[in-house]
Amino acid sequence: MGYYSIFDYEINNAKVDKRKAKKLEKFFASNSEDIHGFRNVKLEYNEKGELEEIKILSYNATFYDDEIFAKKLAEVLTKGEVKIYFTGEDG
């Protein structure tokens, strides 16, 4: 997802593997040149592992790392789904 886009999401009964969630956060905290809009992403979840929020530095950014994030998020989920949306300059 190039250019500037607005990121939004919908959480549907999603639960996370807490250990894998921490690994995802660590990956996106790296200084890799492949990381852009999801740099320093935080997955907020409760003690039961129910995903409550996805926090990023800016919801209006360049999301060249959208496919990487989607794949890694899918690996973290143990139940439910998260739909991710981008709107902006490239549709």
Q: What is the mean pLDDT of the chain?
A: 93
Q: What is the pLDDT of residues 32-47, one digit of tens each?
A: 888 999 999 999 999 9
Give the pLDDT score at 31.
Answer: 87
Long-range contacts of 19-25 (CB under 8 A, 24+ apart): 20/75, 20/76, 21/45, 21/76, 24/72, 24/73, 24/75, 24/76
Give the pLDDT score at 1.
Answer: 52
The domain ranges of the chain are 6-79
Q: What is the pLDDT of residues 64-77, one digit of tens each?
A: 999 999 999 999 99
Q: How confident is the model at residue 90 (pLDDT cuts 50, 70, 90)?
A: low
